[in-house]
Structure 1
C-alpha cells in the first residue's frame, strides 16, 4: 500500500483478517456497530482466462500484453488511477498496484469496468485487506476452563489418552509468532508473506523470518478514525499458536490442545491488517503448493488455522487458494467473526470447503460477539463475560519484550481449538480427508447447554471426535453413476446428498453431462472434477449455471489439474444450481469423478 493510509477490514479483537479473534479478556466484546473495517485498497486482483495455476510448480508473473495494458489504462481513467503489474499469485492471478488508494466500492467498479472491456478477463476484484480476530503439571492448566469445563469446555483431557497430535503440522496464518518458553521446539520454519513493508513493520517485504515484530498502531494510522486511539501490539499469532501446541507436562505455563503437533507460522497480518492476495499465497504455500519466489515448504501442514476475516462475499482469489489447499488434503479452519451478525457476510467464513467456527462462553452459550448462521459448522470456546482464553503471549506493548501469558476472547480464539482437535484426529487417522474431518467434528459435537442459535452442529468434543476416527468409522462418501441422457439442463441428473461422488464418462466433443443440486438457502455448492486413472492427457472442463441457464462460474484448468467451481445461494429459499462437465481435449471415453459438497 506504499504510504497510503488504509482502514482495517476487521480490527484485532484481542486479536482478529486482520484477525478474528481477540478481545482482551477483561474488555467488553465489540458489537457490530463498533467493529472496525478497512474500507480502502490500493490493489486489484485480475485473472485472465489463459492464466496458469502456479501452485503445482511456480512460474514467473506473465508480462501483460500491450492490448491488455491499454484496456487497463482506459478503465483506470474513469477513476483517475493507473495500474501496474506487481506480481502473480500462486493460482495464476495478477496483483495490480493502483496509483492511489480508493474505496472498496470504487475498486469494485474499476474491476467491473475492466472485466466489461476485456473479454479475456476471467475475474477481477479488489485486493481487500483482512484483519486478525481476537475477542497436566502445567501450573496454569487449572485456568484453562476451555479444555475441561463441563459446560463450555471441549473434553480435551479424555482425548489425550488416544492422541496428542504427534506427526501433524498446523499452519497458523496470522501475525507471525514470538519465541516463547512454552513454544520451545514447537515452531517449524515459516515464512513472512507480507509484501508491503509499511504493513510488515519489520523494514522489508517477504522473507523467511515469520517472527512477529509487533503490530501496534497509532490513532488514524489505518484510515480516518481507525484506530480511534493508539493500540498496543496484539501478539495474536503467538496466542493462537499456544492454544494449539503449547508444550504440556513441562512444568511451565499452559498446555496446548495438540501439544504433540508442530506449528508452521505464515505471517500475513501486520500493522492495519493484511492483503487478501498475501493470505491466499500463504494458504497455498502452507498446504504444500508452490508460490513464485518463495522456497518450498518442507513441512506441509495438514491443518490451516485462519483466525482472521473481513466483511463481504468470499473473494474468488481466496476460494481458489482454499480449493488448492483442499486438493492437497489440508483441513481449512476459519473464524466466523466477531460482529454478532450472520456469518454469511463474513469472509472467509462464507467460503466453500472451510470449517467455520463460532464462539461460546464458559456457560456453553453463544458468546455475545460471535457471528452465527447457516454457514457456521461448529462452535468452540472463545470466551465471554470476563472468562477469556489463556495462552502464550508477549509482554511488549509495541516491540517484543519478555515471555508472558494473556487472556483473549473472540472467534479467533475458538478457531485454534477446532484446528487442534483436527490435528488430534489426523494424528490418529492420517488417511482422513478434509470432508471426513468436518463430518466427524459435526457428528460428534455435543449439544449446547445454553442458547446458541446459528452456532452449527454443537460444541466440539475432542474425545468423541478422536474416538470416532480411532474406531475406524471413517466417512465413506456416497457415490452414484452418471445416467444418460443428461446432456442439457432439462434432463440433468439430480444429486441429493452433500459429499456425493459421481462417476461419469464423456464420449465426444458434443457430449455434455449435466447435474442439478437443490442448494439450501445461505449455502455454497462446490463441485470438484478429477480425471480417473488411465485418462492420460484428457482434459474436461467444468461450468455452473442457475435455473435460467446463466453461467455463474467455470473452471478450465489444463490436463492433470483438478477443476472446481463454487456457487452460492444467497436467497432465503432453496434454489437449483446446475453443474456441467464438458469435453475439451484428449481421449474419448475417459472417465471422471465429480464430487459435490454444500
Structure 2
C-alpha cells in the first residue's frame, strides 16, 4: 500500500502524517524480518483434523509435514479455531507459499486447511480546544453530522469498541476511556517490547531502519497509529482540552496486533476473536467483550478462509467488524479483511465529499467516511505521541487514510448501539447504510464505488428502526441411536437478529408428535400452532421417535421465514 508523509504542526507539536501501518504481528526471530520483498511471508496456518484442541503437535506430525512439503518447517504455536502456526526456514513469495500449501493439501489427508499467514498493514460542539479543527465531524459536505447525533446521545459506557492496531499510548486525552487490553504480537523483535504476548497493550513504538522489513524498505519513525485511531473513536470529550471523539462514553479496548513491519494474519485473527469474547488458546478470557471491532489495517490479498471463519464467528456472537478499504486506489476485492463477508468496509472521502485520491473502492465497500486528503483539506486530527522512536510527550496530529475513515464508522456504530443495544451486526449495517447522506453533485464517489453514501451519525441515531422479523440462521443437532417410541428434545436455539416479534411454528413433521417450547414455558405448542418470539428468546423442540429401528423422523421449525430441521434416528438394534 502506498504511504505518504506530510508534517503538520500546530501549537502542541503535531507530528507527521502516515497513511497506513502494518497489520498483524508475526512471529519472526528476534531480529529484522529479512524478507526479500513486501509481498512475502515465512509462516503457514495449518488446521489438522487429528490435532484439535492441542497446544502443540507431536514431533512425528511435524516430520510428516516436512517430508510432504520439502520445507524444514517448525511448529510455532497453536492459534484460535484449532489451527496452528508453522514457521518456514525462510521467507518466500505468496505464490510460492501457495504452491507449498497445495502440495501439502494434496499429500496429507489429515490437513483440513492450509494457507499463507499473510503479513498485513495498517491503513492510516463540545468545548475541546481543537474541536473547531475537526471538520470531519461537522462539515456539511465531508463531515459525518456528529452534532445532531450528540444532541440525542453521546454514547454508553456499556458499549465497548475494540481497536485492533499497534496498541495505545496512555494519552491524557484518552487514558480515562481505555480498558485493560492484550498484546497479541507474538514475535519479540516485531513487538519491540522485549517479550511476546502479554496483558500489556501499550505501544512501545514501531520505528524501523532501512531494510528492516524487506530489501529496500525505507526507514520510518514510530507511527502511534493505534493511538490516533482510538482518539477518533473515543477521545475524552467536552473536557475543555485537546480533541473530541466520535463517542464520548464508550470504552476503548486496545488489542495490539501490529508491531515493527506489521503483523501476521494469525495474530490479528486471534486478537479479533479475543476482542469479541471468543476463546483463544493460551490467552485469558476477555472480561470486556467488544460490540464493535475497528480494523484500520489490511493486506493486498483476497479474504482468506482463516479470516472469514473468524469474522463469521465474531458476527454470530453479536459483534460488528468495521474495516478499512485500503489506500491503494484500487478495487477493494483484492484487499482483506475489508473484502470479507459480514464486514462493514469503509472508503475514505475528503472535505469536499469526493473520494480521497488513495482510497480503495468497489462494490464491496459498504459506507464512506472522512479520511482526509492533504491535496484538499487539513486531514484528520486526533491524539498521538511526539516520540520519533520510543514514546515521548502527548501530542496531536493530522493523519490521512482509510485507517482514519474507519474509526468514524466504529464510533458512530457504538452511538447507534447506545440507542438500541439489541441490534445485530446486520441491523447495525442496515441502519448505517439506510441513513447515509448522498454523495454531493460532482463527487468522484458513487454508490457503485464508495458504498451507500457518506456516514450521517445524526440521522443514524435518530432513525426509527424498521421492523425486522427475519432472524439469523439457527440449527439443531441431529440425534442418532435414540430409543424407540420416546420423546427426544433438541438443543436450545436463541432467536437473534430481529427487532420485532417474529412468527414461529412447526412447518413440517414426520413424527407422531412434534412440539416447540419458548423460554422454558410450561406450555408446549403443537404442530399447527403459530406463536411469536422476541429477540433473545430461547426455543427447544421435541418429537416422538419412531417405533421402528434405524428410522429417522424430522421436525422442521420456522421462525420469521428461516427454518431448521431436528432429526432423530432410532438405534439399529
TM-score (norm 2): 0.77
Distance in 2 (alpha carbons) for counterparts of 1:159 and 1:479: 29
Distance in 2 (alpha carbons) for counterparts of 1:586 and 1:393: 63
User: Are 1:282 and 2:271 an aligned pair?
Assistant: yes
Per-residue deviation, residues 487-537 of structure 1 (Å, max 9, x unmatched): xxxxxxxxxxxx9999987979xxxxxxxxxxxxxxxxxxxxxx983269x
Match of 1:589 among 545, 550, 555: 555
Kept in 2: contact 1:11–1:131 (CA 8 A): no
Once the two structures are TM-superposed, the CA of residue 589 in structure 1 deviates from its matched residue by 3.0
Kept in 2: contact 1:11–1:132 (CA 8 A): no
3-state SS, counterpart of residue 313 of structure 1 = coil
Match of 1:18 among 19, 22, 28: 22
Match of 2:404 among 382, 393, 413: 413
Kept in 1: contact 2:23–2:257 (CA 8 A): no
Match of 2:97 among 92, 101, 107: 107
1:43 is aligned to 43
Give the direction of change, closer, same or farther, for the CA distance of 1:251–1:231 in structure 2 (3 Å limit). same
2:456 is aligned to 461
3-state SS, counterpart of residue 413 of structure 1 = helix
2:333 is aligned to 344
Task: Summarize the alignment of residues 129-528 of structure 1 with structure 2, pairs less than 5 Å apart.
Answer: 129-134=119-124, 136-166=126-156, 167-227=158-218, 230-384=219-373, 385=375, 386-449=377-440, 450-453=443-446, 454-468=449-463, 471-473=464-466, 475-477=468-470
User: Are 1:92 and 2:66 an aligned pair?
Assistant: no
3-state SS, counterpart of residue 589 of structure 1 = strand
Distance in 1 (alpha carbons) for counterparts of 2:105 and 2:510: 34
Once the two structures are TM-superposed, the CA of residue 110 in structure 1 deviates from its matched residue by 0.8
Kept in 1: contact 2:51–2:57 (CA 8 A): no
2:540 is aligned to 534
1:32 is aligned to none
Give the direction of change, closer, same or farther, for the CA distance of 1:458–1:145 in structure 2 (3 Å limit). same
Give the direction of change, closer, same or farther, for the CA distance of 1:121–1:11 in structure 2 (3 Å limit). farther
- Aligned residue pairs, count: 474
Distance in 2 (alpha carbons) for counterparts of 1:285 and 1:481: 23
Give the direction of change, closer, same or farther, for the CA distance of 1:479–1:121 in structure 2 (3 Å limit). closer
Match of 2:66 among 67, 73, 88: 73
Kept in 2: contact 1:217–1:271 (CA 8 A): yes
Kept in 1: contact 2:371–2:379 (CA 8 A): yes
Distance in 2 (alpha carbons) for counterparts of 1:104 and 1:319: 19
Kept in 1: contact 2:438–2:453 (CA 8 A): yes
Give the direction of change, closer, same or farther, for the CA distance of 1:322–1:61 in structure 2 (3 Å limit). same
Give the direction of change, closer, same or farther, for the CA distance of 1:168–1:479 in structure 2 (3 Å limit). closer
Give the direction of change, closer, same or farther, for the CA distance of 1:345–1:480 in structure 2 (3 Å limit). closer
Stretches of structure 2 lacking an aligned partner (at least 5 in a row): 5-16, 25-35, 476-496, 512-536, 543-550, 564-573
3-state SS, counterpart of residue 259 of structure 1 = coil
Distance in 2 (alpha carbons) for counterparts of 1:413 and 1:389: 7
Once the two structures are TM-superposed, the CA of residue 183 in structure 1 deviates from its matched residue by 0.6
Distance in 2 (alpha carbons) for counterparts of 1:98 and 1:10: 28
Once the two structures are TM-superposed, the CA of residue 84 in structure 1 deviates from its matched residue by 2.1
Kept in 2: contact 1:10–1:131 (CA 8 A): no
Kept in 2: contact 1:15–1:234 (CA 8 A): no
Kept in 1: contact 2:21–2:225 (CA 8 A): no
Once the two structures are TM-superposed, the CA of residue 69 in structure 1 deviates from its matched residue by 3.4
Distance in 2 (alpha carbons) for counterparts of 1:586 and 1:232: 66
Once the two structures are TM-superposed, the CA of residue 15 in structure 1 deviates from its matched residue by 4.7
3-state SS, counterpart of residue 18 of structure 1 = coil
Give the direction of change, closer, same or farther, for the CA distance of 1:157–1:379 in structure 2 (3 Å limit). same
Per-residue deviation, residues 326-358 of structure 1 (Å, max 9, x unmatched): 121001000000000000011111101000000
Larger radius of gyration: 2
Give the direction of change, closer, same or farther, for the CA distance of 1:380–1:262 in structure 2 (3 Å limit). same
Once the two structures are TM-superposed, the CA of residue 120 in structure 1 deviates from its matched residue by 2.5
Distance in 2 (alpha carbons) for counterparts of 1:95 and 1:437: 34
Stretches of structure 1 lacking an aligned partner (at least 5 in a row): 1-8, 21-35, 53-58, 483-498, 509-530, 537-584
Kept in 2: contact 1:358–1:414 (CA 8 A): yes
User: Are 1:126 and 2:81 an aligned pair?
Assistant: no
Distance in 2 (alpha carbons) for counterparts of 1:98 and 1:480: 39
Distance in 2 (alpha carbons) for counterparts of 1:535 and 1:71: 46
Give the direction of change, closer, same or farther, for the CA distance of 1:183–1:37 in structure 2 (3 Å limit). farther
Distance in 2 (alpha carbons) for counterparts of 1:590 and 1:320: 27
Distance in 1 (alpha carbons) for counterparts of 2:246 and 2:541: 43
Kept in 2: contact 1:169–1:303 (CA 8 A): yes
Once the two structures are TM-superposed, the CA of residue 434 in structure 1 deviates from its matched residue by 0.1
Distance in 2 (alpha carbons) for counterparts of 1:163 and 1:115: 52
Distance in 2 (alpha carbons) for counterparts of 1:480 and 1:433: 12
3-state SS, counterpart of residue 177 of structure 2 = coil
Per-residue deviation, residues 224-252 of structure 1 (Å, max 9, x unmatched): 1112xx21110000000000000111011
